[in-house]
Amino acid sequence: MQYITFDQGKEYDLILLGRVAIDFNPVDLNRPLEESCNFNKYLGGSPANIAVGMARLGKKVGFIARVSDDQFGDYVTHYFQKEGIDTSHISRCRNGENLGLTFTEIMSPTESRILMYRDGVADLMLEPEDVDEEYIKRTKALLISGTALAASPSREAALKALMLAKKNGVAVIFDIDYRAYTWKSMDEISIYYSIVAKESDLILGSREEFDLTERIMGVCGDDSDSAKRWQAYGCKIVVIKHGKEGSTAYACDGSHYAVKPFPTSALKGFGGGDGYASSFIRALLDGCSVSKALEYGSASASMLISAHSCSAAMPTLSEVEEFIREEKEKYGEMVVLQESEEDRS
C-alpha cells in the first residue's frame, strides 16, 4: 500500500535542507583519538550523506545549504557535482564562517565516539532568502534535517521551506538527526522539532530523538504511542530506530512493520542511519511497500557500518540488492512482522 503520495511529474526526487560538513576518520583504528595521527577526509553531515546515497541509488537530488567560502567549501560543492547533485542553491558564507568538522574515534566495532566543532558554522547561516519557492515546487519530496533547526537564521529558513512544501503539495520528510552541539536548552529542541514533526509525512529518528521531540508535550516512551501522536497530526509513516535491535515503521492505517539488522562485520558504530534513510526513502519513491523499504534501509545501514566512511561508501541500488540476496542465502528472511491495530487489541 502507498501511504505517501509523490507527484511523479516533478523534476527532482528529493531536495534536502541541512548541514554539509567534513568528516575526518582515523586510519589508525582501535585507539583513542588522542593517539590517532592519520585521518581520511570525507564529505560529511547526515543530510549530505543522504543526498549522496540517493544520487548513487539513481535519484535526481538537489540541496539547499550554506557552505564556507574557502577550499573546504570548494571540496564539498565539487563532491556534490561529481555525484550529480544539483548545487544551484548552495550559497557561500560572507563573514568567514567555516564548515563544521567532525573527528571520529573508533575504539572498536562497537565503541565509537564523535568530536564535532560546530561554533560559527556555515550551515547555520542559511537565510530564509536562500529558500526559493520555485525550487521547492520542482521536487517530489523535501527532507529537513533537525540540525538545521538548532539556531537562527537556519531554523527560519527550514521553517520557510516547510511552509512552501506544504503550500505546493510536496511531501515532507523529517530526519530528526539530533546533535547536542549548538542547542541552548532542552525546551528549545522540543519546540522546534515538534513544529516540523507535526507537518511531516515521514519522520525518521531513534527512540531517544522522539523522546526529545515529545519532551514538552509529554514523552510517550512507547513506540506505538509516539506513532499515534504524530499520525494524529497527519503523518503517514513514523520510523523509530533502536540500533542493534532493529527498527519499526508505523503506518497511518495502524499496521506496523519491523526489521532486524542484517548480520555484518562492523568496523564502526556510526553512519548506518544515513544509508538507512537514503535506501528507505528511495524505495518509497519507487512505490515499494513499507516492508520492502525497511529491508533496503536495513541492508544499506549494515553496509555502511562495515565501511570506513559514510558518503564515499554509499552503495548503488544493484549493490544493495546483491547484498540482500547474499545475506538471505546465509540467514534467511530478516523482515518483517506485520501487525495491525486490530491484532493488538
For 222, the grid coordinates are: 512507547
Residue, of 177 and 30, whose pLDDT is higher: 177
Question: What's the first-to-final CA gap in the chain, in angstroms?
Answer: 22
pLDDT class of 308 with cuts at 50, 70, 90? confident
pLDDT of the residue at 307: 79
Residues 279-307: what's their mean pLDDT? 93
**Residue 180 Cα distances to 67, 91, 183, angstroms:** 21, 25, 6
Q: Strands, E, within the chain: which ranges?
A: 14-17, 21-26, 39-44, 61-67, 86-92, 100-108, 111-117, 141-145, 171-175, 202-206, 237-241, 247-251, 256-259, 335-339
Answer yes or no: is pLDDT of 343 > 50. no
Confidence check: pLDDT of 342 > 70: no
Pick the CATH number of 14-19+47-95+126-337 from 3.90.79.10, 3.40.1190.20, 1.10.3720.10, 2.60.40.10: 3.40.1190.20
CA dihedral sign of residues 116, 121, 122, 126: positive
The pLDDT mean for the chain works out to 92
What proportion of the chain, given as a percentage, has pLDDT over 90?
79
What 3-state DSSP class applies to 116?
A: strand
- Tell me which of 161 and 271 has the higher pLDDT: 161
Angle, CA of 251, 257 and 262, to the nearest 5°: 140
Phi, psi of 296 (to 5 degrees): -60, -45
Q: Residue 137 pLDDT > 70, yes or no?
A: yes
What pLDDT digit, counting tens, does each position of 169-194 carry?
999 999 999 998 889 999 999 999 99
Instruction: Supply the pLDDT for residue 30.
Output: 86
The pLDDT, as a whole number, for residue 186 is 96
* Contact criterion met (CB below 8 Å) for 107 and 32: yes
Position 334 scores a pLDDT of 67
- d(CA 189, CA 77) in angstroms, rounded, equals 29
* Lowest mean per-residue pLDDT among 241-245, 263-267, 325-329: 263-267
| Mean pLDDT, residues 46-75 | 98
Q: Quick check: pTM over 0.85?
A: yes
Q: Where are the domains of the chain?
A: 14-19+47-95+126-337
Residue type present at position 118: R
pLDDT in tens, 241-250: 998 888 999 9
Per-residue pLDDT reduced to its tens digit, 203-220: 999 999 999 999 999 999
Identify which has the larger pLDDT, 132 or 272. 132
Select from 60, 232, 201 the least CA-distant residue to 214: 232
Quickly state the pLDDT bin for 337 (edges 50, 70, 90): low
Query: 79: Cβ–Cβ under 8 A, 6 or more apart, which residues?
Result: 43, 52, 311
pLDDT for residue 107? 83
Pick from 149, 253, 144, 246: which is nearest to 203 by CA?
144
Q: Is the pLDDT of residue 110 over 60?
A: yes
Give the single-character DSSP code of 182: S
- Bridge partners, residue 104, by sequence: 114
In eight-state DSSP terms, residue 121 is B
All three cell numbers of 342: 486490530
Residue with cell 575504539: 107
